[in-house]
Amino acid sequence: MKIFLKTEDEIELMRAANLMVGATLAEIRKAIKPGVTTRQLDKIAEEYIRDNGAVPTFKGFPNPCGGEAFPASICTSVNDEVVHGVPNDTPLREGDIVSVDCGILLNGYNGDSCYTFSVGENSEEVRQLLQTTKEALYRGIETALPGRRIGDIGYMVQQHCEAHGFGVVREFVGHGIGQQMHEDPPVPNYGRRGNGPQIKNGLCIAIEPMITMGSPKVYLTSDRWTVKTQDGKPAAHFEHTIAIHQGRVDILSSFEEIEE
């Protein structure tokens, strides 16, 4: 494992990239309503990112499962799609949820963040799933202090979600981030306290709980990208990129504009 700790200057470059991801997700938020397609959302994202002088890192990303490169600038995962959903022409409907995962490269550094949006009104159960997943993300973030270990983060995320009866996906995890979108260390959403690499000043990671309403079992669909729940129940996904520096946790991405 090779963990690249970042300097203060690098962390500021990463903040700029991640704030642009937040701004892109906020643009998408404005367009989400019943009838809009995820392909339309993708177009908004790609134009916004390129107009601001950045590059959408997901577009053309090689397929680790032997399929085509990723064809779009965002991943849009609807209802029982967990991650890596491919934007398409199916209109969103009232009561759907859609996770929009966005990655950009700006001045050589990566931003990566995801938010699960409601399309119109959702059931109480779905609202609980979204709230619990977001809470779990922040529990994980608060835990990521210098001297703690990566397993402490996963422990907190898992404990919070399972206490609410939700499932924690095991096959996909968070990651180190910097000049590459995916760097060491892997950051699982499950784990044991005291396990894994030690958290140090300069560490930049993306924490991204992928949480299911039912069983955590998932499968890869025939497009070789989209991952769905086996039981067909919905899943939520929230992600922040954070830096640990000066003895504290600094959230580099932002949901502020999204939630305005």
Residues of this chain that interact with Mg ion (CB under 5 A) are 101, 112, 114, 206, 239
Nearer to Mg ion, 69 or 163 (CB): 69
Structure tokens at 81: 């799609």
User: How far is Cα 38 from Cα 100, in angstroms, rounded to an integer?
Assistant: 9
Q: CB of residue 142 vs Mg ion: minimum separation in angstroms? A: 19
Nearer to Mg ion, 56 or 191 (CB): 56
User: How far is Cα 185 from Cα 219, in angstroms, rounded to an integer?
Assistant: 24
Q: CB of residue 5 vs Mg ion: minimum separation in angstroms? A: 19
Q: CB of residue 211 vs Mg ion: minimum separation in angstroms? A: 15
Nearer to Mg ion, 62 or 247 (CB): 62
3-state helix, strand, coil in the chain (%, to 5): 30, 30, 45
Nearer to Mg ion, 149 or 237 (CB): 237
Residue type, 247: G
Q: CB of residue 207 vs Mg ion: minimum separation in angstroms? A: 9
Nearer to Mg ion, 46 or 239 (CB): 239
User: How far is Cα 40 from Cα 42, in angstroms, rounded to an integer?
Assistant: 5
Radius of gyration of the CA atoms of the chain, in A: 17
Structure tokens at 91: 């209109």
Place of tokens 């499962």: 65
Q: CB of residue 114 vs Mg ion: minimum separation in angstroms? A: 5
